[in-house]
Amino acid sequence: MDVIPSEIPHGEVYNLLLNTVAPRPIAWVSSLSASGQPNLAPFSFFNVVSANPPMLGFSPGRRAPKQPAENASSVGDSPVGEPKDTLRNVRETGEFVVNIVAFAQAEAMNLTSGEYEATINEFEIAKLEWASSKLVRPRRVALSPASFECKLHQVLDFNHGPEGSSLVIGKVVCIHIEEQYLKDGRLDRNSLDLIGRMGGIQYTRTTQRFEMVRPKVE
Ligand SMILES: Cc1cc2nc3c(=O)[nH]c(=O)nc-3n(C[C@H](O)[C@H](O)[C@H](O)COP(=O)(O)O)c2cc1C
């Protein structure tokens, strides 16, 4: 079967992407509004996009309007979707923290994904302990195995319609590794029980691993 994205509804394209580009790591993004309101939300359209310089990218979609208001702005016939709190905060302040999610934080991470009002602090909703960051103002999730303090590099906007999305690229300025995941002062990768997002409401754990030696080309 061949599928041309422009010929099928957006929801179907979304599901195909979600089910096949998987498992996806989860960026649990902490940010602050210009007035200092804390925010925390997960994003699985996420990856490291460069190692030197160290850059991370995640993609917030636009939130479809609850009911199109008569005087709402529009692109063509479509009302313009609302930016998610995270995207608005990142644009306003230029800073965010990407926290990595282990199995122990799965339920809390899920709780923070509710479409809450901007005035709600998701750290409180999920009863999460936080810690101050070193070089940026947003807090980090205290028990997350690793947290990346980022300064905004660029936002790419792909589409301004209700189903549009953006790519937020941040430069990592500080990496915090939680003590319990260190062995002899270095990250012990085998101690991480990270989770990944699959399609629908499915997740995967990364406790089953295997190794392969790369081919040597003379
Ligand atoms: C595991 C997981 C991954 C998610 N990934 C994304 C994503 O990549 N992009 C997106 O726009 N929303 C994603 N969401 C939904 C957002 O977390 C949700 O819309 C949230 O309310 C956004 O919060 P904010 O308005 O505080 O930024 C995801 C939800 C979950 C549970």
Give per-residue pLDDT as tens, 60-97.
Answer: 999 877 665 555 555 444 456 789 999 999 999 999 99
The mean predicted confidence, pLDDT, of the chain is: 93
| C-alpha to C-alpha distances, 171 to 20, 150, 210, nearest whole angstrom | 28, 5, 31
Distance 143 CA to ligand 1 centre (A): 20
Can you give the C-alpha Rg of the chain in angstroms? 19
| C-alpha to C-alpha distances, 144 to 23, 46, 47, 97, nearest whole angstrom | 19, 17, 17, 11
From the CB of 57, is ligand 1 less than 6 Å away? no
CA distance 168 to 55: 10
Q: CA nearest 122: which of 44, 47, 29? A: 29
Weakest mean pLDDT among 57-66, 140-149, 197-206: 57-66
Percentage, residues of the chain above pLDDT 70: 93
Decide: helix, strand or coil at residue 190: helix
pTM equals: 0.94
| Ligand 1 binding pocket mutation candidate from 113, 121, 157, 159 (most atoms within 8 A of CB) | 113
CB 58 within 8 A of CB 168: yes
Q: CA nearest 123: which of 26, 29, 27, 25? A: 29
